[in-house]
Structure 1
């Protein structure tokens, strides 16, 4: 804490652990069980509370509230946590809640994410690396959001839903079922409309893999049998690691059904 810069109007409670080079701006409040990593910046009017850790070089903008108790009527004050990774950008009015005992007790957010103004991460959510939540989007409790996912503005993800790596959710979309990796979902009641081809190309995925993903999507959309049966057959035939990732996701454990290709 010797190298931290703390504004005189900020309240840092006894017990808080403040990393080297942190900047805590005017009218911030840091609770007694908070750990801020090296170089964390709290701009102003930021609340970080509960048993919360914030990773190195994360920047939190005014009026964000990080680590408050869950918005869950089953929560009875049990000891739970929020873990936020490194180099995140958490914009104005973002809320991230701690976990619940029934959901594992920990809400986790990965590294290098962008959480735009007004978005919400609910209790027990598990959010990967390089995730973008656009303005006023919301993740309900127990969601799993894998790496490189983008959730469009004013969109909501239902509790327990899994969104696979590299998927993109369009704006003003309600997602009530699992989304396979690299899927493209849009519409008021989210529909799986294709693949996130733009994201794949920006990532530099080889053309052969993109071609394999397109063929896999067509098989999942039009093949014989139930959706999971098609996925099993696809897994027996594919040589693409990207397609294998989709198959493993579809055949994995879930509390929800899937958005399937139209």
Structure 2
């Protein structure tokens, strides 16, 4: 392990690093940190807090990972951060631990691409295969589902839920929940269709994409209430059993939306 850790790096007693972990010059790994096999920590990084990091992650230079939450109610409670496998985390990214006002743990899944200057605040729950472009700013308690893409310099209000396979354009101000599959942007954010190209790339069939387009029309073009739109999608599922499963995320999303759904 010694050969893989730069002599200027500081590894505190108690830190648990797999023998294959690489640590660059002047980085600091604190005592309650666990890092899994094959992970690379670049130069001038700080990894702090009760932080568990999985396998084959790459942290570029100047990351600050596992710092205390930026919440004035925080008073030193032992909260945590969990990061999965295969994530790429670019320069100057900050990810904070959770708070006791929520689940107490900030989570990042697997195979996420987190670009430079992104901030992931306390208690955020980020799924897998997401892309957060440069300077995305996430307030606390935000949930982002698998395969979502958030464009550069976008900012999201606390407690926002961003659905799976959605794509948000850059410079967006996200103040309400974004359903799965939706394409949109703006200040404030407005929906503009479905993420058809992304769905094709991920193996969705033409029939499934057609069903998602029909659901989009129900939600956004018929001026229905959220409850009415959900009921209409459920009826659509019964009439189209072959594609019903791809619409279930819509139904679940509307049933659990906490900040209202972005309707344009």
TM-score w.r.t. the length of structure 1 is: 0.96
Pairing of 1:134-213 with structure 2 (within 5 A): 134-213=133-212
Matched, 1:247 2:256: no
Aligned residues: 259
Give the CA RMSD over aligned residues.
Answer: 1.2
How far residue 235 of structure 1 moved from its aligned partner, in angstroms, is 1.1
Contact 2:61–2:90 under 8 Å retained in 1 = yes
* Partner of residue 82, structure 1: 81
Deviates more, 1:225-234 or 1:104-113: 225-234
Q: Kindly provide the CA deviation profile for residues 49-71 of structure 1, in whole angstroms up to 9, marking residues without a partner as x.
A: 00001110101011000000001
**Partners in 1 of 2:171 and 2:223 — Cα distance?**
32
Pairing of 1:225-240 with structure 2 (within 5 A): 225-238=224-237, 239=241, 240=243
**Partners in 2 of 1:223 and 1:190 — Cα distance?**
20
Q: Kindly provide the CA deviation profile for residues 167-205 of structure 1, in whole angstroms up to 9, marking residues without a partner as x.
A: 111000011101100111201210111111111111121
How far residue 162 of structure 1 moved from its aligned partner, in angstroms, is 0.4
* Partner of residue 109, structure 2: 110
Could you list the runs of 5+ residues in structure 1 that have no partner in the other structure?
none
How far residue 247 of structure 1 moved from its aligned partner, in angstroms, is 1.5
Could you list the runs of 5+ residues in structure 2 that have no partner in the other structure?
none
Contact 1:157–1:176 under 8 Å retained in 2 = yes
The 4+ residue runs of structure 1 with deviation greater than 2 A are 222-225
Q: Cα gap change, 1:228/1:3 in structure 2, threshold over 3 Å: closer, same or farther?
A: farther
**Partners in 2 of 1:94 and 1:228 — Cα distance?**
39
TM-score w.r.t. the length of structure 2 is: 0.95
**Partners in 2 of 1:176 and 1:88 — Cα distance?**
27
* Partner of residue 257, structure 1: 260
